[in-house]
Amino acid sequence: MGAVYLPSQFGLLLLPLANVQVKPGDKLRITCRYSHVGQADSQPLYAAIGNDGWAGFNEVLHGSKTISVPEDTSWDYHEEYVDITITTAISAGFYDLYAKIGGTFPKVISPSLLDVVEVLAEIPDSEFGEISITDYVKV
Amino acid sequence: MAQYADIIEIVASAEASQGSRVDITVRIKNTYSSAIGIMVGGALEYGLSPWPGISFAGPTSNVAGGVTHSFSGYFTMPEKRVTIHAYSYYYGADGSWHFDDEMTKTIDVTEEIESQFGSIEILSYSRR
C-alpha cells in the first residue's frame, strides 16, 4: 500500500493511497493536473512506472502523448491523462509512479507515488494436466 | 482647429499583439454648411522613416454638411508601441485636396508571456 506525507497542524500526516493491480495486456491510465501560463504550447505528457530511489527514478515502463495547451493569460489548471501499456517487460511486484511534462529537459515533474502499482504475475495459457474417471452410473 | 473636415475621434483598441491586424475607424465631421469632398489619410509612428501608411478601404467621400463620416482602415501591429496619425483633407474649389486636421492615438503592444508550466500532480491511476 503506497502513501504520501502531507503537512498538517499535527506534523506530517500519512495519507494512504490505494494501489491498483495490473497484469500484462492491461493499460494503466494516469490522470494528471498541471498549471500553465502564457502562450499556447504543445508538449509531451509522460508517465512512468518504476522504482524511485536515491539515484532517481528507475523507469521500467512508460507512456507518453503530446498535449496541446491553450493560451492562459494567468495561471490556470488543466487535466490530461496518459496511458501506459503493461507488458511482460515488467516483473510482478509493487512499483512507483511519476509524471512529467516536457522532453529530455522536463518543464515540470510530479512527486512520485510510492508502491501504488501492483503488477501481478502473468496468468499462464490454458493447459490440461490429466484426466481420470471419478464415477460411472446408469442414466 | 479644422476649417471644414474636423476629426472627431480615432476608434481603435488600446493594445494589440505583434503581427495582428488592427482595425481603426477615423470619424470626420463636415463642419461646412453643404456637402464637400473629404479625404482621410494615416501614418504610423514607431521609429521607421518614412512613416508607414495606413490602408483605408474608401479614403474619400462626399459628406453632407454637418454630417460625420466614418472611414475604416487597418494596419499590421509592429513589434512596439505605435502612434497613429490620422489626417483629414477637404476638396477645394480650386480642384485640389487641402490638409485640414490631424489627430493621434497610441496603441501598445500586448505583452505575450512565454509558455510556462508551474506544477504537475497525479490525480488518479486506474486499470483500463
What's the pLDDT at A20? 92
CATH superfamily to which B5-109 belongs: Immunoglobulins (2.60.40.10)
How many A/B residue pairs have CB atoms within 8 Å?
91
Reported pTM: 0.59
Span A107-126, pLDDT tens digits: 999 999 999 999 998 777 88
- Residues A100 and A44: beta-carbon distance below 8 Å: no
CA dist A73 and A79 (Å) reads: 17
In the block, which residue shows the cell 499590421?
A: B76
Q: CATH number of the domain that A101 lies in? A: 2.60.40.10
CB contact under 8 A, A28 and B128: yes
Tell me, yes or no, whether A137 lies in a domain. no
Domain containing A99 equals: 19-119
Q: CA A71 to CA B112: how far, in whole Å?
A: 10
Kindly tell me the burial class for residue B59, based on how many C-beta atoms sit within 10 Å of its own C-beta (0-12, 13-18, 19 or more): middle
pLDDT in tens, A8-64: 555 555 555 778 999 999 999 999 999 999 989 999 999 999 999 888 899 999 999
In a domain, A8, yes or no: no
Number of structural domains found in chain A: 1
Chain A environment of B122 (Cβ under 8 Å): 30-32, 47, 97-99, 110, 113
Chain A CB within 8 Å of residue B94 CB: no
Q: How far is CA B85 from CA A23, A68, B105, in A?
A: 71, 40, 7
**Quick check: A108 and B117 CB within 8 A?**
yes
Residue A136 in domain? no
> Residue ranges of the domains in chain B?
5-109
Q: Is A124 part of any domain? A: no
On whether any CB of chain A is under 8 Å from the CB of B115, the answer is yes
The pLDDT of residue B97: 95
In a domain? residue A128? no
